[in-house]
Structure formats: structure tokens, C-alpha cells
Copies of this chain bind each other. A is one copy, B any other.
Amino acid sequence: MTGKTRVTMRDVAAASGVSQATVSFVLNDAPGQTIPAATRERVRRAADELGYRPHSIARALREGASRIVVLEAGGLPRGHHLSSFIAGLDEELGAAGFGLLVSYGEGVSARAAITAIEPRAVIDLPAVCAGPDHDVADGGWIDGMVAHRLVQLRHLVARGHRAVAVAVPAGDDPFLALMAGQVRDAAEELGLPEPLPLVVDGDPEKPVGALKAGVTAVAALTDDLALGVLAVLADTGLSAPGDLAVIGFDDTPHGALWRPALTTVRLDARAYGRRTARTLLGLPVGDARPAPARVIERASA
């Protein structure tokens, strides 16, 4: 009868005829310790056979923090980039024996949960972006953003557009506001006139107003915003790219589904995720070098 009680280090120690401490040393590969290979093997096997799993809560209590890192993804636009970034984090953290928890800012209880976890670190992308200080272990995610916007705008410029608007959301979201700033910076770098903000709120007047102002193309902060532009365009009988070229940013599945299919920009967010994890863990960046952003050319621009 396999008792209902948890298998602890004591059990492993008893089973392998050593002390609890020795078990701890063996199982954690204690640095700079000399334990006979024979003993190590014996301990390892005992642990295996008994099905020993370290009790992470006890460990966390002892270590002062759990082996979990939290990603605060509350204000971030969901989509391909975020998922890939998470996948990258997952990969590296998992390999290092760390757990990753993604919090989408669901509410009070999520916040409560995070404090209850005593995470080793929390990656707060929105906060990072809100502040002026970019000296954070963000793996170059932020600083590269302007570069990424450059490829978005260059695609438009290469097609002869100069008067571009930037599609922004109706409310004010700190993260998206930051993104808008990056588009402006990129436009300046390309010597374009300052892009007009085109707020996407379902009002068909907005795009026709932009059109009247001479705008010929729209760079959207996200794919979803691009889709919003496409929708109101369709409402007014206009279409992309004929009347207005529209390019997104994120390469969401929805964009590919739309008609006209959305031209967009895709980042190697997975590599950014890996890089972020590695710098967080104090590891060398290694092979986690992100590929440059690239345009996914479809129909809308």
C-alpha cells in the first residue's frame, strides 16, 4: 500500500542508508563536494524508486523565493508576438528548472496569487515601457522596437507612400502609446512627415478624413487595429490597398483570414523571449539572437 504521505528526503535517506543532508547534496549537485560515486548512485536510485519529488514550497521557504518567474502581460496586445515571446521564455526557463507564470492581469485574485508565490523575478513589460528608463533586462525587446517599426514604414515607403497615418486605439493604453511614439521616431528617421494619428473606433469618418488630408497609407500599431481600419474602409465602400494601403504589426491569424488579407510585420519574438530569460538567469545570451523583423506581404499593402 503506497501511503498517502509525501515522499520526503528523510525517506530517501533512510532507504539509501545515508543522512538527509547527503541526499540534499547529491540531488542538488552541491558544488565543490566530494561524495563517492557509489553513494551518489545509490541515493539517486532510491529517490527514483520512491518517486521522490522535491517539495517546492519547502524549498521556497528555505530559499526565500520560489523558482518561478512571472511575466506581467496585463496591458500587452495579445497576438503572435506575445505568444512567441512566451514560448521563448518558456524554453529557456524550463531548461533551467524554473517555472514561468504568465499573468494577464485578470484581476485582484491574480495579483493576490502572484504575491502569494514569492516569485524569483517578475518581468513587467508594461511597466518597463511606461518608464523612461530602458536599462532593464528586457533582452533588447524594447530598444529594437523602433528598428522594427522602420521595417513597417519602409515597406510603405518602398511602395511610394509618404503621407502615412498611424492607426491607434480609442482609449489610452500606456503600452500602445509607447508604440505610437516608436512609430513617430521611425518616421522621423526615414525623413517622413509626422504621421497623423488615425483613431480606430468604428467611425467611418476617421479614415475618409485622413484620405482628404492626403494620407495614402496606414501603419497600424497592431494587427487588430489594422483590421479595424479595414472594416470601416469596407463600410464606406473603399478598399485596401487601392484607396488606402494598410499594414499591420504582429501577424495574428485573424489578419491572414481577412479579405483583403493583411500585410503585416512579424518579429522573431521567440528569440527575444529566450534572450530575456537568459539575461534574467544571468546566463550568456548564447544562440538566442533574434532574426530581424520582416514583412509578411499579403494583399492590404
Chain B residues near A195 (CB, 8 Å)? none
Which label, helix, strand, loop or mixed, suits the secondary structure of the A interface?
helix
A86 to B56, CA, bound (A): 26
A30 at the A/B interface (Cβ < 8 Å)?
no
| Binding-face segment, A112-120, A143-151, A156-164 | A112-120
**How many chain copies?**
2
In contact, A97 and B112 (Cβ under 8 angstroms): yes
Q: Given known contacts A60-B116, A101-B101, A231-B259, what 10 new A-B pairs fall within 8 Å (CB)?
A: A61-B61, A90-B107, A93-B109, A94-B107, A98-B112, A99-B109, A100-B106, A100-B110, A100-B112, A228-B257
Residues 61 to 116 of chain A near chain B (Cβ within 8 Å):
61, 66-68, 78, 86-87, 89-91, 93-94, 97-104, 106-116
Question: Given A57-B61, A57-B66, is A109 in contact with B100 using a C-beta cutoff of 8 Å?
Answer: yes
A103 to B53, CA, bound (A): 22
A203 at the A/B interface (Cβ < 8 Å)?
no
In contact, A66 and B116 (Cβ under 8 angstroms): yes
Interface size class of A (residues with CB under 8 A): 35 or more
A111 to B90, CA, bound (A): 10
In contact, B109 and A89 (Cβ under 8 angstroms): yes
9 A-B interface contacts by CB (under 8 A): A57-B116, A58-B61, A90-B109, A97-B112, A99-B109, A99-B114, A99-B116, A102-B104, A231-B258
Which listed residue, B67, B106, B224, B257, touches A227 by the CB 8 Å rule? B257
Which listed residue, B91, B107, B259, touches A107 by the CB 8 Å rule? B91
Chain B residues near A98 (CB, 8 Å)? 109, 112
In contact, B61 and A90 (Cβ under 8 angstroms): no
Whose C-beta in chain B lies nearest to the C-beta of A66?
B116
